[in-house]
């Protein structure tokens, strides 16, 4: 190790920054974050520092640098663009044994400032000892995406309950096990999903209960997006990698399934349309039972769980059974698929609103044929985009009805197959010919229908063409 990583308490301590420019401003704000008493020494200040000085956040000595100004400082940073001054600051600080950092001059420093990931009170510092600062920053970016933003709040929660846990578990071994469980189980997940009050109650209960080693299960209702795994949220990915069992249906793409933890048990509850599918009530109960066995259950759905995903029904049953859960939104098909098809859903000139609806065929009592029952007047208003989920089979009927209820037969419309994936296909037409074109193209589900003048924009904006 070329240098010793340490965290230094500088609250209310006099820290001197020599230089009044932009670089100095960045260093000042870092020192202020750690509650230092910052003094800036420079012949003049840039605007942001002036503002901070006038607001009383920093002290300012208007002067050129002299060694005696460092007396009593616990830390010095030189951030001028004059090498001579920077060297003088470094020498003066070293003579008084004050730690000194000279920006961009490792040779003049006795300490360097790391790249940090701030989850206060948890702080991660990364340094390449000047060898490759850009690499250190890239590592930092990786950690930023891996570590939930709310880790800091989790640490504060732990601090609040530290004494209670100490009182309950006398030996360090059982305390360690208790905290490991807490930081990786439902209580941590409650914190991460913003349910701080519930987390506190659960933690207090866990400390009280004698069965602190018992397993408590939970359910993550996660949106897997429209297909491209890059469209998953950080949270979705994290939960996918920590589940014990994954309950998924056919809409979730293979590429997304690849990212589920390898050791997790996989349960497929939805096969192709009209073939065997587990009834919704049974899925709801399956989730409850798996969680009650103490498992971390990932309920993975295509798109967003709350948009034509029946996610609401699933968590209703979880609530009734007291199973902890969280919901992670995903990019819904309308959103992801339209983007990848180069069709903006709204546009200043063509559409000021957008409706998502389902084109599912239904068999009405007493009728022989399946029909699409929709609020046609609402769908045929001008300056609006209509996005229809589950409409492939009913496409011909839908087009006929839209025309019958007042839309021009020439209204542009598109069907997108398996949008965002390498199998994406887009068929564009208008309400009079779309159904025929789609039949000829032999599109396969899932397919999304988009109706409205925005579809024309694809001519200019198409950017994702995996099959060309």
Catalytic residue set = 249, 271
Nearest CB to ligand SAH, comparing residues 151 and 389: 389
Q: Which of residues 332-351 bind ligand SAH (CB under 6 A)?
A: 332-333, 337
Letters for 387-406 (x = contact with ligand SAH by CB under 6 A, - = none) are --xx----------------
Nearest CB to ligand SAH, comparing residues 49 and 232: 232
Question: In 3D, which of 243, 249, 239 has the Cα closest to residue 263?
Answer: 243
Q: Do 183 and 149 meet the contact criterion of CB atoms below 8 Å apart?
A: no
Among 307, 372, 407, 443, binds ligand SAH (CB under 6 A): 307
The answer to whether 447 contacts ligand SAH (rule: CB under 6 A) is: yes
Query: What angle do the packed helices 47-54 and 22-33 form, to 10 degrees?
Result: 40
The answer to whether 329 contacts ligand SAH (rule: CB under 6 A) is: no
Select the span of 30-38, 84-92, 370-378, 418-426 touching ligand SAH (CB under 6 A).
418-426
Q: Which of residues 247-276 bind ligand SAH (CB under 6 A)?
A: 251
The answer to whether 304 contacts ligand SAH (rule: CB under 6 A) is: yes
Among 70, 418, 426, 454, binds ligand SAH (CB under 6 A): 418
Letters for 424-443 (x = contact with ligand SAH by CB under 6 A, - = none) are --------------------
Contacts of 160 (CB under 8 A, 6+ apart): 200
Among 182, 339, 385, 420, binds ligand SAH (CB under 6 A): 420
The answer to whether 309 contacts ligand SAH (rule: CB under 6 A) is: yes
Nearest CB to ligand SAH, comparing residues 148 and 419: 419
Query: What angle do the packed helices 395-404 and 434-441 form, to 10 degrees?
Result: 170
Question: In 3D, which of 356, 408, 431 has the Cα closest to residue 386?
Answer: 356
Question: In 3D, which of 252, 422, 398, 257 has the Cα closest to residue 333?
Answer: 252
The answer to whether 308 contacts ligand SAH (rule: CB under 6 A) is: yes
The answer to whether 192 contacts ligand SAH (rule: CB under 6 A) is: no
Nearest CB to ligand SAH, comparing residues 142 and 444: 444
Q: How far is the CB of 310 from ligand SAH (least distance, A)?
A: 8
Burial letters for 128-165: b for 16+ Cβ neighbours within 10 Å, e otherwise? Answer: beeeebeebeebbeeeeeebbebbbbbbebbeebeeeb
Q: How far is the CB of 251 from ligand SAH (least distance, A)?
A: 6
The answer to whether 302 contacts ligand SAH (rule: CB under 6 A) is: yes
Residue by residue, DSSP assigns 281-320 as: HHHHHHHHHHHHTT-EEEEEESB-TTSSS-HHHHHHHHHH
Measured at CB, which residue is nearest to ligand SAH? 303
Q: How far is the CB of 200 from ligand SAH (least distance, A)?
A: 33
Q: Which of residues 10-39 bind ligand SAH (CB under 6 A)?
A: none
Q: DSSP character for 277?
A: B
> Which SS3 state, helix, strand or coil, does residue 358 take?
strand
Contacts of range 423-426, beta carbons closer than 8 Å, 24 or more positions apart:
423/466, 423/467, 424/340, 424/341, 424/464, 424/466, 424/467, 425/467, 426/341, 426/458, 426/462
Residues that bind ligand SAH (CB under 6 A): 226-227, 251, 301-304, 307-309, 332-333, 337, 389-390, 416, 418-420, 445-448
């Amino acid at each position: 190790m070329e240098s010793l990583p340490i965290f230094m308490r500088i609250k209310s301590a006099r820290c001197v920054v020599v230089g009044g420019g932009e670089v100095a401003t960045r260093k000042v704000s870092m020192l202020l974050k750690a509650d230092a008493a910052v003094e800036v020494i420079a012949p003049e200040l840039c605007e942001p520092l002036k503002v901070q000085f006038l607001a009383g956040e920093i002290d300012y000595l208007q002067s050129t640098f002299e060694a005696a100004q460092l007396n009593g400082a616990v830390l010095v940073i030189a951030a001028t663009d004059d090498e001579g001054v920077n060297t003088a600051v470094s020498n003066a600080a070293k003579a008084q044994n004050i730690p000194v950092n000279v920006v961009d001059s490792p040779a003049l420093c006795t300490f360097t400032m790391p790249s940090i990931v701030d989850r206060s009170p948890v702080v991660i510092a990364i340094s390449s000892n000047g060898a490759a600062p850009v690499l250190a920053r890239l590592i930092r970016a990786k950690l930023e995406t891996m570590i939930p933003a709310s880790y800091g709040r989790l640490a504060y929660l732990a601090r609040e309950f530290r004494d209670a846990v100490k009182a309950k578990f006398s030996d360090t071994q059982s305390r360690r096990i208790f905290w490991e469980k807490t930081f990786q189980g439902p209580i941590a997940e409650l914190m991460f999903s913003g349910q701080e009050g519930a987390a506190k109650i659960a933690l207090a209960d866990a400390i009280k209960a004698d069965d602190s080693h018992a397993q408590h299960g939970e359910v993550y209702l996660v949106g897997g997006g429209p297909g491209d795994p890059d469209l998953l949220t950080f949270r979705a990915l994290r939960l996918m990698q920590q589940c014990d069992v994954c309950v998924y249906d056919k809409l979730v793409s293979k590429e997304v399934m690849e990212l589920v933890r390898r050791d997790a048990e996989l349960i497929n509850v939805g096969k192709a349309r009209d073939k065997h599918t587990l009834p919704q009530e049974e899925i709801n109960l399956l989730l409850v039972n798996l969680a009650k066995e103490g498992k971390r259950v990932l309920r993975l759905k295509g798109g967003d769980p709350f948009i034509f995903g029946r996610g609401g029904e699933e968590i209703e049953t979880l609530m009734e059974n007291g199973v902890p859960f969280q919901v992670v939104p995903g990019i819904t098909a309308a959103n992801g698929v339209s983007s990848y098809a180069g069709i903006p859903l709204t546009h200043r000139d063509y559409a000021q609103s957008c409706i998502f609806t389902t084109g599912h065929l239904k068999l009405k009592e007493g009728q022989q044929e399946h029909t699409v029952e929709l609020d046609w007047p609402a769908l045929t208003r001008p300056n609006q985009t209509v996005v229809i989920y589950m409409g492939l089979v009913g496409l011909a009927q839908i087009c006929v009805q839209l025309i019958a209820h007042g839309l021009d037969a020439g209204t542009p419309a598109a069907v997108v197959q398996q949008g965002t994936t390498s199998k994406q296909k887009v068929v564009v037409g208008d309400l009079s010919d779309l159904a025929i074109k789609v039949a000829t193209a032999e599109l396969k589900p899932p397919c999304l229908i988009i109706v409205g003048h925005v579809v024309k924009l694809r001519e200019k904006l198409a950017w994702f063409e995996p099959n060309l």
